[in-house]
């Protein structure tokens, strides 16, 4: 597969827009304040994993994050999240996925041991199958109070869990190039991680319902079309001036510049059910970035792909996961997403061997052949007819660290 040709970023004959392309009618009266981009070493990594806290008796969510956080001081970077039934584990800056694994493996093991002593179960799927968001307690911080005041019910229902990973960027300009280059592959990452088929006690019919909880928010989901860093600064300036956002953190895009860290943050993934899958999906994203980097270096700018195609492919991944058929070019040709990922893994083989990522690629091949978390959860429910048993399975997979088929 040829990344540069089959996933064409722009139809032939369509000219690149200028920096001020979103029109004089939308431009601010005053000049935007430059956004300082904290440069990072190119394509270093950082990983964030959101974790559900489960009551082992009821298998429902439990608001015991304050207890757990007090007990696990000194265990890596464990932090509070929006709901008290959630904690987040983060890495420091890592050279590669091996470095990230060396951090996450002992941190998650220590967290699991501490949680077990407190009689708290842990799992990392994209959402809890039957918990009621109306019964979840919000962590009391000024920022979270502001989010609820702004978005009301939309914020309260976001009892969902994701994997976020950061790619180090040398500049804001490079960040926009990579963002636009990686946009066509977000459905691939979402489908591999899909782990949220159940919501509020119902089978949604989706491989991943988690993204639908965000997309109602005006500054969430797919990023606005951006051509270069100057245009991003202009957009942020106008959004701030109009009180649409307070900071860059309010851009809850599927992929976004993280200027304070000097990274491109990929946020589209459901929470993978296991550490093995989280590392494998991050390795896949890392290699994607490495594969497009040479092409990016040769171009003064990289325009965003057609929005209609991005939107349609995202929906297909949400609905069908790895069984989706995605659009691969602006002529409307399609390919099974599973086959597209398989072709990409084949093209990545030399890079994988050089990086020592073969184990992670084998995990992805197993997921392609045997099913992602969403498929595994549905299989458990089909056998047992119990969402409590689905949660027990999710907790067991988290403890095992690898998928159970």
355-390, pLDDT tens digit by residue?
999 999 999 999 999 999 999 999 999 999 999 999
Q: What is the model's pLDDT at position 29?
A: 60
Q: What is the model's pLDDT at position 282?
A: 98
Tell me the domains of the chain and their CATH numbers. Answer: 3-400 (3.30.590.20)
Supply 154's token pair. 């939309």
Q: CA–CA separation, 325 vs 204, rounded Å?
A: 20
Supply 296's token pair. 């990016």
pLDDT digits (tens, 9 = 90+) for 143-190: 777 777 777 767 777 789 999 999 999 999 999 999 999 999 999 999
Rounded (10°) angle between helices 275-297 and 186-193: 170
Q: Is 261 buried (19+), middle (13-18) or exposed (0-12) by CB count in 10 A?
A: middle
Q: Give the pTM.
A: 0.92
Q: CA–CA separation, 235 vs 152, rounded Å?
A: 25
Q: Is the alpha carbon torsion for 296, 302, 308, 311 positive or negative?
A: positive
Residue in 262, 302, 284 with CA at minimum distance from that of residue 179 = 302
Q: What is the model's pLDDT at position 75?
A: 76
Query: What percent of the residues of the chain are helix, what percent strand, and what percent coil, each to the nearest 5?
Result: 50, 15, 35
Is the per-residue pLDDT at 295 higher than 90?
Answer: no
Of 80 and 285, more confident: 285
Q: CA–CA separation, 35 vs 228, rounded Å?
A: 13
Supply 284's token pair. 């896949």
Q: Given phi > 0 = left and psi -120 to 50 = alpha, else beta, which region is 17?
A: beta
């Amino acid at each position: 597969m040829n990344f540069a040709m089959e996933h064409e970023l722009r139809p032939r004959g369509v000219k690149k827009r200028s920096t001020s392309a979103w029109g004089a009618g939308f431009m601010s009266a005053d000049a935007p304040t430059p956004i300082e981009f904290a440069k990072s070493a190119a394509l270093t990594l950082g990983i964030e994993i959101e974790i559900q806290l489960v009551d082992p008796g009821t298998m429902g969510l439990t608001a015991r994050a304050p207890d757990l956080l007090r007990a696990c001081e000194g265990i890596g970077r464990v932090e509070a999240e929006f709901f008290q039934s959630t904690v987040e584990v983060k890495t420091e800056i890592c050279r590669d996925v091996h470095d990230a694994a060396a951090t996450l493996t002992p941190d998650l093991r220590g967290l699991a041991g501490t949680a077990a002593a407190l009689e708290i179960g842990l799992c990392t799927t994209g959402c809890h199958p039957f918990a009621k968001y109306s019964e979840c307690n919000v962590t009391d911080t000024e920022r979270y109070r502001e989010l609820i005041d702004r978005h009301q019910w939309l914020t309260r229902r976001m009892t969902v869990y994701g994997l976020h990973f950061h790619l180090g960027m040398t500049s804001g300009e490079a960040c926009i190039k990579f963002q636009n280059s990686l946009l066509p592959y977000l459905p691939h990452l979402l489908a591999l991680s899909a782990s949220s088929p159940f919501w509020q006690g119902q089978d949604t019919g989706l491989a991943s319902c988690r993204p639908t909880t965000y997309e109602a928010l005006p500054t969430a989901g797919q990023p606005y079309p951006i051509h270069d860093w100057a245009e991003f600064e202009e957009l942020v300036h106008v959004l701030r001036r109009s009180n649409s956002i307070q900071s860059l953190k309010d851009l809850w895009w599927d992929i976004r510049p993280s200027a304070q860290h000097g990274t491109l943050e990929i946020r589209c993934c459901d929470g993978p059910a296991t550490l093995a899958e989280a590392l494998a999906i991050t390795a896949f994203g890392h290699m994607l970035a490495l594969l497009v980097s040479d092409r990016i270096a040769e171009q003064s700018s990289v325009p965003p792909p057609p929005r209609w195609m991005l939107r349609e492919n995202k929906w297909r991944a949400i609905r069908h996961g790895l069984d989706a058929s995605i659009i691969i070019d602006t002529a409307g040709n399609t390919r099974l997403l599973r086959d597209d990922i398989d072709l990409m893994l084949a093209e990545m083989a030399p890079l994988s061997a050089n990086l020592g990522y073969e184990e992670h690629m084998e995990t992805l091949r197993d997921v392609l052949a045997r099913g992602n978390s969403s498929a595994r959860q549905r299989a458990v429910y089909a056998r047992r007819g119990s969402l409590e048993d689905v949660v027990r399975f999710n907790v067991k997979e988290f403890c095992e660290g690898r998928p159970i088929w």
